[in-house]
Structure 1
Amino acid sequence: MGQYPDAQRRNTAAAVSSTGSKLDSYVDRYATRTHGMTASEVRSLFAVASRPEVVSLAGGMPNISGLPLDVVGSLLSELIEKRGTTALQYGSGQGDPQLREQICDVMRPVGVHGHPDDVTVTVGSQQALDLITRIFIDPGDVILAEAPSYVGALSTFRSYQADVVHVEMDDDGLVPERVRQAIATVQASGRTIKFLYTIPNYHNPAGVTLTAQRRQEILGICQDAGVLIVEDDPYGLLGFDGDVPRAMRADDPEGVIYLGSFSKTFAPGFRVGWTLAPHAVREKLVLAAESSVLCPPAFSQLAVSEYLSGHDWRGQVKAFRELYRERCDAMLGALDDLMPAGAHWTRPRGGFYVWLTLPAGLDTKAMLPRAVTNRVAYVPGTAFYADGFGSRSMRLSFCYPTPDRIREGVRRLAQVIEQEMELRAAFGAAGASQRPGLDAPAPDQA
């Protein structure tokens, strides 16, 4: 039992000998959709970036040192003491009813007035992305996404064999005319656009925010074309000036699926996110969620619910905003002081990230090993494109290091860039592939 018959074993051996040895003997058995599954450039950096001697400007880890851990510990202790038999048991596939009501309260500052019945609790908003892609995408369907776009979303879209068509952004977010052109071009080719994926607030990785006027324009364009919008909003409450941009979902409940997460405003370790969807879509999402995890973790949900009930979470969000603003100011100040002529970068008003584009001829992916040797890490821009663009750009994260470490990291990065520019001047450089918009030189640097 469990062994191949002799003939099959001989055939297998002959096939291996004719094609060469394989590191994975199951390679011919995997589904076609696994062919595009590769480790992200962010994940591959973690082992190096976590070394204490390296200043990591790469990962977007929330700074939970700003949490009152004594308060959180007390809440968790009381949860187990008073509701342990519920918290440690199976829960609802759609999510805890009380938490779904509280999520509706959390969404009100962005103008969203949802019903708890239309909220589905997920294991982080990444699961919500997976569920949405699973229920909408057939192989070859098109997803419109910003250029650049969130690496976790691109990985999910790739796993379901979607074709990602990038749409240009600038410092004010998605360019409406480019959205209109992309829709027309894809539809003229006979392909089907299933949705537009966007992070309108304090974008990951670009750090820009879609203006209010453009939100209305893009809503109108997508309504006219019958294109659904998936609005991913993990950072919306983290504006440095306290501003809370109005969600696109607030103005089109039937045409927008809204995603949220407690990873940035509470703690990522609980892995609690949600999606607010039109009622019919909600039903499909719940069925898809039940088929993958049966029910999301009850303990995590009740822990978040207790936190929202028993702690001043709005005051905590304000404290996070101030913490991240200080770190962003440190990064922007260091970039202003140390970056060479020809480099340009976004100036975020919230969130975690700055998008830095280097002078022509430099390649941030090729430069990364030298940067790590110089004890600084970032994420190359190509990680945030589905089509190989972004080679001159990088994502810099300011959320986790202290201001002093951020300044030191930028100093080390500037040294690496200077060395690369000296090599380029001495030996020349291959041309770099870039898109217009955020990757193009600023007007006074063209």
Structure 2
Amino acid sequence: MRLDTDPYLERYAARVRGMSASAIRALFAVASRPEIVSFAGGNPAIEALDFGAVEEVVSRVIRDSGRTALQYGIGQGRPELREHLVAVMAQEGLTAHADELVVTVGGQQALELVASCFVDPGDVVIAEGPTYVGGIGALTSCQADVRHVPLDEHGMQVDLLEELLAQLQREGRRAKYVYVIPNHQNPGGVSLSIERRQRLAELADSHDLMILEDNPYGLLDFAGKTFPSIRELVPERTIYVGTVSKTFAPGVRTGWIAAPAPVRDKLVLLREAADLCPSSLTQMVVEEWFASQPWREQIDAFRDLYRVKADAMLGALETEMPEGVSWTRPSGAFYVWMTVPAGIDTDDLAAKAIANRVAFVPGRGFYADGTGGDQLRLCYSQPSPDRIREGVSRLGELLHDELELVHAVYGADGAPPLRRRPTDPPAPRGQEPR
């Protein structure tokens, strides 16, 4: 038997056959080496946590409620936790009732459950371009036809969304929903403007659209600002996804969905079929964290840390990047999205960057259609400010060298723009935990 073939390939379901590991996961093994400055994985800076407080919370749950914490629970999630999550939503001005919520194993399971609930093979789902790689994975696992709407510094270009909706209407098709990350988007680092949120809500009404609002980063604005939720604008058309991964810790694997009652009921059935119920232990740890700890101050600490790191990265980019390179300027969370000059393919650049002891994620992984070859994501949540500056310097040196090669081959005008790679498999990829 050949070692490069899979003897079980013909037995797999069609939705599984094209699955492959993401660029992010493939980078983890090498990017974790100490000599490499990694801007790859989007891991929160949990070193900002009070680990003594975390230990106390976990010990208290086991000591006082161990028999409940180590037992099965209910598919919708513990009512006590759902009440706390309603309070977390209220920090951003969102109104919700605990009965509307379904607790999930992180935000990623929430995206998967929603896709499983709504998407049949070939159904159109609209997403920002670029968008979260795990969102693409959830959609392509259901064999969705993902259509992208470009971002700019104000988020999804909703005027282009309107054009796409008109095009679909002419084709006799309708999108099942629009997937949007409105606050400090991953990977773009930008937020949807208030005007565009309002227009998106109007389009949802006029085109009978559902909105999937994914909000992991809304409480991480550097200035402490919050923005109107799409759920608040069109509650009966919006399914809201939240997670404690970025505001407490990803290791507790706790997220939630807030959905209209009929959708909530279907989601509970789907999650019971998938894993019966969320972990009672981790739910109760999160409950106790919110009940006994100054969690708002903890979020402030995360926000302050990311602001310092963002300033370090943006300052270094201004100093080190060659002409023709552009990037977003985040006002919260921990992502910068970069576009490089024509003639540079960031898939190839990523391998050279590892040799230069710096790591990033190439752009194609954030699109379902093979585009993004001239883009990349930088995440500054993990390195110290000094290491951030060091890593950006290494990347800048590499880009200077690459541009010299491009100009040597194509002249001062540079190479033609990269095209999408039609051979890239439209299949779910491994993703970062949410």
TM-score tier (shorter): over 0.9
Q: Following the alignment from structure 2 to structure 1, what is the Cα–Cα distance between the partners of residues 237 and 116?
A: 18
Change (3 A) 1:390 1:93: same
Q: Deviations over 1:383-441 (max 9, x none)?
A: 11111111111100011111011100100101111111122122347533379xxxxxx
SS at match of 1:236: coil
Task: Give TM-score, length-normalised by structure 1.
Answer: 0.91
Determine if the alignment matches structure 1 residue 432 to structure 2 residue 414.
no
How far the C-alpha of 1:22 sits from its partner, in A, is 6.1
SS at match of 1:201: coil
Look up the match of 1:115: 97
Opposite residue 65 of structure 1, the aligned amino acid is E
How far the C-alpha of 1:169 sits from its partner, in A, is 1.4
Q: Deviations over 1:347-402 (max 9, x none)?
A: 01001100011122211111111100011000001111111111111100011111
Look up the match of 1:303: 285
Q: Deviations over 1:256-290 (max 9, x none)?
A: 10000000000000000000001100000000000
Aligned residues: 417
| Superposition pairs of residues 130-209 of structure 1, within 5 angstroms | 130-209=112-191
Q: Following the alignment from structure 2 to structure 1, what is the Cα–Cα distance between the partners of residues 216 and 349?
A: 30
Contact between 1:37 and 1:155, CA under 8 Å: does it hold in 2? Answer: no
How far the C-alpha of 1:36 sits from its partner, in A, is 3.0
Q: Deviations over 1:42-95 (max 9, x none)?
A: 111110111111100011100000000001101111110000111111111100
Opposite residue 224 of structure 1, the aligned amino acid is S
Task: Give TM-score, length-normalised by structure 2.
Answer: 0.94
| Superposition pairs of residues 220-369 of structure 1, within 5 angstroms | 220-369=202-351
SS at match of 2:236: coil
Q: Following the alignment from structure 2 to structure 1, what is the Cα–Cα distance between the partners of residues 167 and 418?
A: 22
Change (3 A) 1:309 1:370: same
Instruction: Give the alignment's Cα RMSD to 1 decimal.
Output: 1.3
Determine if the alignment matches structure 1 residue 35 to structure 2 residue 17.
yes
How far the C-alpha of 1:24 sits from its partner, in A, is 1.4
SS at match of 1:169: strand
SS at match of 2:65: helix
Q: Deviations over 1:21-53 (max 9, x none)?
A: 862111111111112311111111110111111
SS at match of 2:176: strand
Q: Following the alignment from structure 1 to structure 2, what is the Cα–Cα distance between the partners of residues 170 and 222?
A: 21
SS at match of 1:184: helix
Q: Following the alignment from structure 2 to structure 1, what is the Cα–Cα distance between the partners of residues 367 and 219?
A: 26
Which structure is larger by alpha-carbon Rg, 1 or 2?
1
Query: Which stretch shows the higher mean deviation, 21-30 or 365-374?
Result: 21-30
Look up the match of 2:426: none
Identity level (%): 49
Q: Following the alignment from structure 1 to structure 2, what is the Cα–Cα distance between the partners of residues 27 and 21?
A: 13
Q: Following the alignment from structure 2 to structure 1, what is the Cα–Cα distance between the partners of residues 396 and 323?
A: 12
| Superposition pairs of residues 369-408 of structure 1, within 5 angstroms | 369-408=351-390
Following superposition, which runs of at least 4 residues in structure 1 exceed 4 angstroms of deviation? Answer: none
Look up the match of 2:427: none
How far the C-alpha of 1:111 sits from its partner, in A, is 2.1
Look up the match of 1:54: 36
Q: Following the alignment from structure 1 to structure 2, what is the Cα–Cα distance between the partners of residues 369 and 432?
A: 20
SS at match of 1:194: coil
Contact between 1:391 and 1:432, CA under 8 Å: does it hold in 2? Answer: no
Contact between 2:245 and 2:251, CA under 8 Å: does it hold in 1? Answer: yes
Greater relative contact order structure (CA < 8 Å, 6+ sep): 2
SS at match of 2:386: helix
SS at match of 2:10: coil
Of the candidates 59, 67, 89, which is equivalent to residue 85 of structure 1?
67
Contact between 1:36 and 1:159, CA under 8 Å: does it hold in 2? Answer: no
How far the C-alpha of 1:163 sits from its partner, in A, is 0.4
How far the C-alpha of 1:127 sits from its partner, in A, is 0.2
SS at match of 2:177: strand
